[in-house]
Amino acid sequence: MNSMTIQQLSARSIKKPELRELCTQVLERTKNPHDIYEITATLESIGWNDKMARDRFGHKDLFSLAEELWDFIKNELHIVPMVKTEKMSTLKYFLESMRSFLRGTIFALPMAVSVISMLTLRFSLWSYENLTVSLATSISIGTILSFVVVGGFTQALARRGFMYLGQNLGYMARKTAFYFVRLGFYCAIAVTIGFYVFNWLFKIFPWSMASIIILYYFFLTVIWLSVTIMYMLRKEIVFTGLITAGIGLVFVLFILLKIDIIISQLIALSIVSVAGFFISRYYFYQTEKMMEKGIAPSLPRRSLMLYSTMPYFKYGFFYFLFLNLDRIIAWSTNETYMPYIIWFRGEYELGLDFALLVLILPMGFVEVIVNEIMIKILVDQKNFSMNEIPTMNNIYKKFHRKWTIFVSLFGILNGIILFLFIRYIDYHNIIHLEILGNRVTLVVLILAILSYSIISLGLLNCLILFSFSQPQMAGHSIMVATAVNAILGFVLSRWVDYYWAVIGLVIGSIVFAVLSFKRVSEVFSNLDYYLYNAQ
């Protein structure tokens, strides 16, 4: 499909080595530029501006520099015979798939470590089995607030960072990543101040609870920002080790030294948050050193960078809001005893916490599937001619449907196995918690397992959309799903019973999966257009 390439960079046309390198970088970003405006936009996207064009090459602005590059490309670009690309060997394909699967599951390891810690030690880095309801409410609000507030920043940070790392621009990736980290940090401070002012004006919570909310919220926000950088640099196992070390520190402080659990967790959280920041910074500098040295351009204009990452920000915000919305609705339902606007319901939370485990294995398969699709597309776009585009589109639509059915069937099997496992540990009283014997916990567990299994389908579709640079499509799907979750959950929790809020999560998950599936089908129906658009 990409039948045009550069035979060579002529020293007669472009004499400056740095300008030849810049031309190569432009053509790596956009294979077949249509005009100088596209080249100008590409230059700006990789960090160039008018001042740099003047200082480096003596041009008055980027348009002038793009015009020189355009003249060269028109003279040197020519059609070459289409070469069939060999398919990946079976061994290489297997190893690549295993790498992708482990990457997906490792990302969910911190969640698994936290659940295992709760089952064995009765506490984790930010939870404890025997907390009072007021303390459990405070910690839960702080945790949810951290996810919702920082979710948009982590998505924008990761996607922009992945883009620069993919271009071997370590300097740009580091500058961009820590720019969003600073924005997230400033936002965390602003939310902290706003929460205190709001609570001072309206007396929503007593100050003892408000202080716990903010402390847990702030430290967890810093931790989520750090883990995003480690994920971007493929260092997920390091963060898992950091969480494990934090739990070990809580064990030493709480069990061995007999320090209060809240103080022990806050000490551990502060150390993990600071350590996570410096470790992620260290790994970024190491990654940057390993990359090729070239130009170190300035960041694009902040307004442009914020505008281009806004769809990712919206997706991240609404995704984490979607995952936590049913909790907020259920806990805010005013029934027999509601001392505050939100009151922790342990039997509801218990069902959700165990159901989250159902996401671990599907996350690995989702990573494998998306990786396979993109590798296959990179091969097929060179092996299919322009006349064969409709055939290629149909192949990938069938391919997508096949994997959707596979993930659905695997999700059903995975959910059944998880339920049987929970039934086993509950029956043998391994964890000393009433799970299946409590009607609310049982209903929430079953429906949440169903919901999270369906969400894995939506995540598969959204990762495909991200791979084609279509975050607005993914964002629209999760926004509609969030609205459905909110409306149904609110109505049912008020008209029937508080735990019926989980039905909003179920229907919202179905909406998320269906809408995102339709969006991916739209992409595969016009694959040539979206491949070009993603260049």
pLDDT tens for 227-236 read: 888 888 878 7
Q: Mean pLDDT over all residues of the chain? A: 83
pLDDT tens for 69-85 read: 777 666 554 444 444 44
Looking at 43-47, 243-247, 352-356, which range is the least confident one? 43-47
Q: Are 273 and 219 in contact (CB under 8 A)?
A: yes
Q: Regarding beta strands 4-6 and 77-79, do their DSSP bridges make them parallel or antiparallel, or are they unpaired?
A: antiparallel
Please give the Cα distance from 246 to 222 (Å, whole number). 14
* Position 472 confidence tier, pLDDT thresholds 50, 70, 90: very high
Output the pLDDT for position 499: 95
Q: Are 189 and 242 in contact (CB under 8 A)?
A: no
Place of tokens 């031309």: 23
* Position 194 confidence tier, pLDDT thresholds 50, 70, 90: very high
For residue 435, give every residue at least 6 positions away whose Cβ sits within 8 Å of its Cβ, in sequence order, or none: 350, 351, 354, 422, 426, 441, 442, 445
Please give the Cα distance from 127 to 140 (Å, whole number). 8
CB atoms within 10 A of CB 495: 8
Burial class (CB in 10 A: 0-12, 13-18, 19+), 425: middle
Q: Is the pLDDT of residue 493 over 70?
A: yes
* Position 408 confidence tier, pLDDT thresholds 50, 70, 90: very high
For residue 340, give every residue at least 6 positions away whose Cβ sits within 8 Å of its Cβ, in sequence order, or none: 137, 204, 205, 209
* Position 170 confidence tier, pLDDT thresholds 50, 70, 90: confident
Question: What average pLDDT score do residues 239-256 get?
Answer: 91
CB atoms within 10 A of CB 2: 13
Question: What average pLDDT score do residues 357-383 get?
Answer: 81
pLDDT tens for 422-460 read: 998 888 877 667 778 889 999 999 999 999 999 999 999
